[in-house]
Structure 1
Amino acid sequence: MSLTIEIHSFSYKKGGIPKDESGNGGGFAFDCRGILNPGRVEEYKLQTGCDSAVQEYLETKTEMPKFLELVKNLVSINIDNYLARDFEHLQINFGCTGGQHRSVYAAEKIATFIREKYPQITVKLNHDEQPQLNNYV
């Protein structure tokens, strides 16, 4: 048995919090709308949280780094517990207004963090509003 973590970025306006299809009916939902929105800056409107200019904005002009440190600490508690108890699934969702900038960035960063800290875990990353970015590993 191994743990699979499904990570979603989503839009609160368009689809809302993704349903947990595992049958567990839960997981984390982190609201990124409290972070300054790069989508309101003209040069970033057509970009996503995977673009380097948006990433630099989020890392230098917002509270996103502090937010993600707290998220890492919180999800690590559950991941360690789930591994010890042989749980098979955990869902982690990041939402923002449009599902394009902040939530995409946060989902990408947490996926990288989990893959590095817990190489035995399968991480599935899904950008609900930005399917061109989806990359299942």
Structure 2
Amino acid sequence: MQNKLVIDIHSFSYKKKGIPKDDSGNGGGFVFDCRGILNPGRIEEYKSQTGNDIGVQEFLETKTEMPQFLKSVQSLISISIRNYLDRGFENLQINFGCTGGQHRSVYSAIKTAEFIRQNFPDAEVRIHHDEQLHLNLSSISDN
């Protein structure tokens, strides 16, 4: 029996801990820098929120280039996911970093997990919000 492809998605802060280590031992994967997207954390009403909050999500979807950014990310990762599934690989790590690991990276991790679950049901997706640990409980995979 072939093992399932496990995709670990991290949101992280470049300022605090930096790029997450790949604990699978395989190395590689993807690191996407979200700092080129307008930061909702600089707007007073969003400062205490995260990328998991509706207000931040609506801001990123309507006032920034985040939809275009994620469309490009989805195109890139799909190539590897299809290939890894076909070849029986067991691990892939996808990382999203921003300044504080609170808004843009959290949103990107959540939306990317949704995309993968919808388009690649044979993969198991796990989200790790490295700076927003309280969100990890609500991000446990349904797989």
Give the TM bin, normalised by the shorter chain: over 0.9
Is residue 103 of structure 2 the alignment partner of residue 101 of structure 1? yes
Cα RMSD, aligned residues only: 0.5
Counterpart in 2 of 1:136?
A: 140
Counterpart in 1 of 2:32?
A: 30
The residue correspondences of 1:48-87 to structure 2 (distance < 5 A) are 48-87=50-89
CA displacement, residues 17-64 of structure 1 (integer Å, 9 cap, x when unaligned): 000000011110000000000000000000000100000000000000
CA displacement, residues 57-101 of structure 1 (integer Å, 9 cap, x when unaligned): 000000000000000000000000001110000000000000000
Counterpart in 2 of 1:42?
A: 44
Q: 1:133 offset after TM fit, Å?
A: 0.4
Instruction: Tell me the number of residue pairs that the alignment of Structure 1 and Structure 2 aligns.
Output: 137
Runs of 4+ with deviation above 6 angstroms:
none
How many angstroms apart in 1 are the aligned matches of 2:119 and 2:24? 23
Instruction: Give the 3-state SS of the residue equivalent to 1:126 in structure 2.
Output: strand
Structure 2, unaligned runs of 5 or more: none
Counterpart in 1 of 2:15?
A: 13
How many angstroms apart in 1 are the aligned matches of 2:53 and 2:4? 32
Counterpart in 2 of 1:123?
A: 125
**Identical amino acids, percent of aligned pairs:** 69
Give the residue type in structure 1 aligned to 2:30: F
Q: Please give the TM-score of this superposition, normalised by the length of structure 2.
A: 0.95
Counterpart in 2 of 1:3?
A: 5
How many angstroms apart in 2 are the aligned matches of 1:20 and 1:26? 8
Instruction: Give the 3-state SS of the residue equivalent to 1:107 in structure 2.
Output: helix
How many angstroms apart in 2 are the aligned matches of 1:3 and 1:25? 15
How many angstroms apart in 1 are the aligned matches of 2:99 and 2:28? 21
Q: Please give the TM-score of this superposition, normalised by the length of structure 1.
A: 0.99
How many angstroms apart in 1 are the aligned matches of 2:76 and 2:24? 21
Q: 1:107 offset after TM fit, Å?
A: 0.3
How many angstroms apart in 2 are the aligned matches of 1:118 and 1:25? 22
Give the residue type in structure 2 aligned to 1:108: I
How many angstroms apart in 2 are the aligned matches of 1:28 and 1:99? 16
